[in-house]
Structure 1
Amino acid sequence: MTYPNTLIFVDLTSDDPAAAGEFYAAVFGWENDPRPKGVFHRMVPGQNFLNPDKSQSQIGNLHLGIHNAANARPHPDPEGVAPRQVAETGRKARIWVMVSDDDSVERILGEAVKRGAEILWRNHFWAEFNGFNDAFRDPWGNEIILWGKGGDSPQVPDDYTRE
């Protein structure tokens, strides 16, 4: 078998990439790297994945892009192609974010809501992947799932939904 193709980037759509970049910088503490501002923003989570002993590994964190719905770059035609707006109905991209040990779901959701996000659900445990999760929809319709590992013997509070 050959070496598998590697996922290098995921983009979210926005009709205002500059505002979306500011949103994710405030909510998650990520670096907002406009390339160029308002056209494409690369969100840089910073640092590397952690080893079990909490030291940084050699593996850098994945980056997230935010492209402009009016003219998603790159594209061979400098004018881009239709559609040129954020999708209004149906499912959109979902991204999963591991909540850092030195952050909290409450802080993240508070910042997100303050900036126009809508909470989709709170306090859920998914046994199949041993994780606690909460979710919100950003102002552009993208769904963000906040994830926390359950650990070896997860203690699921009584008020949590489960699957």
Structure 2
Amino acid sequence: MTKPNTLIFVDLASDDPSAAGAFYAQVFGWENDARPEGVYHRMVPGGFFKKPDGTDSEIGNLHLGIFKAANARPHPEPEGVEPRGLSTEGRKPRIWVLISDDDSADRILGTAEALGATLLWKNHYWKEFNGYNHAFRDPWGNEIVLWGKAGPDPQIPTDYTRE
């Protein structure tokens, strides 16, 4: 194999993709592209990955899907198969979202909580990757980790935990 396989999409489960699409549109400002409404929603963040000089590259930002847990599409069986419920116990994949330069963790977390999310933790600095991070669980049990750039000479607030 000369080229690696390419990650193209990540999906989150929901028992109400319409509500989940509206949630992520409000929390992150993403376009809620229902395809079709209530069955599968593609969340389109817009914009492009940046080049080192800060200009847009030709690579569009990744999209996120939200599928209906009761009948996850696509699938060869039109009625879907078990399991049909949301996973509520144990560890599951986490989605990492870079905080835009014109947004803030406080605004994102406040909006998410007002819409039914649960704050998991906030105000943590991870030296290994030089970033500030915070996390919440959406109303469907999916975990979202926010990432803020710390910069070349990070000034870590005293109330932040560190590792």
Give the match's secondary structure for 2:70: coil
Summarize deviations over 1:20-58 as a string: whole Å, max 9, x none: 000000000000000001110000000111233332211
CA distance in 1, matches of 2:38, 2:91: 24
Partner of 1:26: 26
Partner of 1:91: 91
Matches within 5 A, 1:66-77: 66-77=66-77
Deviation at 1:88, TM superposition (A): 2.1
Alpha-carbon contact 1:30-1:45 (below 8 Å) kept: yes
CA distance in 2, matches of 1:83, 1:117: 24
Alpha-carbon contact 1:33-1:42 (below 8 Å) kept: yes
- AA aligned opposite 1:111: T
Summarize deviations over 1:47-82 as a string: whole Å, max 9, x none: 111233332211100000000000000000001100
- 1:160 aligns to 2:160 (yes or no): yes
TM-score, with structure 2 as normaliser? 0.97
Identity among equivalent positions (%) equals 71
Give the match's secondary structure for 1:70: helix
CA distance in 1, matches of 2:157, 2:47: 32
5+ residue gaps in structure 1? none
CA distance in 2, matches of 1:107, 1:55: 26
- AA aligned opposite 1:19: A
- 1:132 aligns to 2:127 (yes or no): no
Structure 1 moving runs of 4+ over 4 Å: none
CA distance in 2, matches of 1:48, 1:2: 26
Alpha-carbon contact 1:12-1:93 (below 8 Å) kept: no
- 1:10 aligns to 2:19 (yes or no): no
Give the match's secondary structure for 2:53: coil
CA distance in 2, matches of 1:25, 1:109: 14
CA distance in 1, matches of 2:104, 2:53: 21
Partner of 1:78: 78
- AA aligned opposite 1:50: K
CA distance in 1, matches of 2:114, 2:159: 25
Aligned residues: 163
- 1:58 aligns to 2:58 (yes or no): yes
CA distance in 1, matches of 2:36, 2:75: 15
CA distance in 1, matches of 2:2, 2:76: 30
CA distance in 1, matches of 2:83, 2:67: 13
Give the match's secondary structure for 1:25: helix
